[in-house]
Each structure stands twice: as structure tokens, then as C-alpha cells.
Structure 1
Amino acid sequence: MTEYKNVSELIENIDNLPIPGRLYIEKSNFLNVSEAFFLVISSKEAKDQNMVEIENDLIPENLIDKNVKSFFDTATFEDILIIQKENKESSSLADFIKAIEYYRENDTFME
């Protein structure tokens, strides 16, 4: 498990994310990506964990005390960033956050 203190740090480390894997976001900031912290768990690591249902969400048992919820699989998160960069080569952090939030709300990539 790897913890990222903010979305900027997560984006900077995109090449280090395990694929397959799962990204979890701070529950209290689910709608405020720019303020949230994130946890990443590889699928290999997750398969050794019991999954627990909390508020209609499945999370690994070792994350219960972290107050997080499931966000994206790591491959989807990477695709969001890649497509944003393809659409706008000089994407800023704000552009990436907008693309992430768009996908979260619409379940599709921002054009």
C-alpha cells in the first residue's frame, strides 16, 4: 500500500502505480479531489485481504481505519491522465483535476 498526500503527488507518481491495482480516496473529500489524500493497493496485495462492505463500498479490511472509499482502478486513472494530456499537451494540475472529476461524475472521458 502506498499513500499519497494529495492529487499532485499522485499524478507525479503515475508511472509508479501498480496495474492492476485500486485507488482509494479520503472519504470526506470524495467530492473535492484537490484536497484529498489517496491510497493505492496492488491487486496482488488486495487479494490477500478480506474485503469489507462499508456504506455500499467494498474496501480491503486493512483500510477500514483509514476512512477511505474506492475511487478508480489504477489503469482507468492512468487513462484519464493520458487522455487529458493528449487533448491538451500543456495540461496544468487544474486541468487534470477537472478531467478526474469529470470522469467521476460522468463515467466517461472528457473531450
Structure 2
Amino acid sequence: MESLQSPETEAVRSLTELFEKAAAHLQGLVQVASREQLLYLYARYKQVKVGNCNTPKPSFFDFEGKQKWEAWKALGDSSPSQAMQEYIAVVKKLDPGWNPQVRLNDCK
């Protein structure tokens, strides 16, 4: 018996798959992304994977950790789907030719 998925469930699954592909693709773009873009992406990744920032602020001496925490904390109650959409948009901006529908194995 085939289970019926609601359109919303299917849309969330599709968005999640696209987000995961974008996160994997970003690994090859780290060198071209600015520090601000990387912080922006980090915050959205954390929002998707962990949820709202409820961890203590890092020490004053942990400059990088503090920047990451502040970027994540600034998202407040943003929804995971909004964070995924924003993340995907920046990855597409970093690599306008990226096509998440094409896998590397398909290019042989």
C-alpha cells in the first residue's frame, strides 16, 4: 500500500534535500565566500540543525566563537524552513551555475 504524503510534507522534504545538497556544495566554495557570508551561512545552518540559539555566549576572548554565536542568536525565532531558503539562496549566489539536480556521478 502506497502512503500518501501531504503537499506540505513533500515540500519540506524537498527543501531539506536541497538544503543538504547546498551544505555539501558549500564545502567547495569556502575559499570564495567572504567572512560575512560564512557567518551568515553558519547561523542558518545552526538554526536548521539545532534550532534557536539558547547556549551561553562564548567568552570575550573567544572572538570567532562570539561572532558565530551572535550571528546565530540574531536569527531569534526564525523557522528552519526560512533558514534553509536563505542558506540555499546564498549558496546559489556564490555559485550561480550550481545545479542541485545534477549529481557529480551524472557528469561522467
| TM-score in terms of structure 2 length | 0.28
More helix by share: 2
More strand by share: 1
| TM-score in terms of structure 1 length | 0.27
